[in-house]
Structure 1
């Protein structure tokens, strides 16, 4: 998935256009990589989860918000994203699927 997306970025750059955001399938694959990141890919994986999933209410955002919410509740883990970072990332999603998890974070000590 990472190599395919890098190739996509290069192809789009050669055309002078920005890369497309991750689709739901790529986002689901990224979530699995976040759980067990390959060596030397940590920065790229964090960049993808932070910057390459559209904010809002599409299916990729739903997958991202669900995973980050699970981290904030202790139901999922990533060596790259702790509860605080997950909350910060939820806060950047501009509404939609992140609202309920962010409200739940207010009750967390």
Structure 2
């Protein structure tokens, strides 16, 4: 998998374009490598996991989120990723398959504060909002922290102020659109 991916990167570089993100099959192979990292490839495979898999609801994101979730529950392990790192990485996925494991992590004292911080700055929650609300109503202090963060719009205020002028390019996508087009 690593040899094929490096060849792909070289081919795309000769065309002056970035490599494509990993697909679900490549991500599944990467998970195997993360469980038993080849000597000397540790940094590279960790970078592939963190930087080359699409966020959201892509099939590769499903594989990534499933693996990271399994680490947070102890069902899987990697010498490169502990429970805390897995929770942090889940928090970078912007929404989609990472939400359920992050909400579950609110009940694990070892990683709950990380999950709360990541969920506090996640916008694409959809119906999972109600799961956080239920935990809040049941007395979970981390869920309460998230609800307060959302009420205070921290997800918006933690970012830099907008520039005085922004130049953009607008494009129209014909047919069905969703957040995958963003």
Using the size of structure 2 for normalisation, the TM-score is 0.59
CA RMSD across the alignment: 0.5
- Quote the Cα distance in structure 2 between the aligned partners of 1:107 and 1:11: 46
- Quote the Cα distance in structure 2 between the aligned partners of 1:46 and 1:14: 25
Secondary structure of 1:75's partner? coil
Alignment partner of 1:69 is 2:74: no
How far did 1:83 drift?
0.3
Please list the CA deviations of residues 17-44 of structure 1 after superposition, one character each: whole Å capped at 9, or x if unmatched.
Answer: 0100001110000000000000000000
- Quote the Cα distance in structure 2 between the aligned partners of 1:102 and 1:24: 21
**Residue of structure 2 in register with 1:8 after alignment:** 8
Secondary structure of 1:89's partner? helix
User: Greater helix percent: which structure?
Assistant: 1
Secondary structure of 1:29's partner? helix
Q: Which runs of 5+ in 2 are unaligned?
A: 110-182
Structure showing greater Rg: 2
Using the size of structure 1 for normalisation, the TM-score is 0.99
Secondary structure of 2:38's partner? coil
**Pairs aligned (count):** 109
**Residue of structure 1 in register with 2:99 after alignment:** 99
Please list the CA deviations of residues 19-76 of structure 1 after superposition, one character each: whole Å capped at 9, or x if unmatched.
Answer: 0000111000000000000000000000000000000101100000000000000110
**Residue of structure 2 in register with 1:25 after alignment:** 25
**Residue of structure 2 in register with 1:82 after alignment:** 82
How far did 1:106 drift?
1.1
Q: Which runs of 5+ in 1 are unaligned?
A: none
With a CA cutoff of 8 Å and minimum separation of 6, indicate the structure with the bigger relative contact order: 1
- Quote the Cα distance in structure 2 between the aligned partners of 1:13 and 1:102: 36
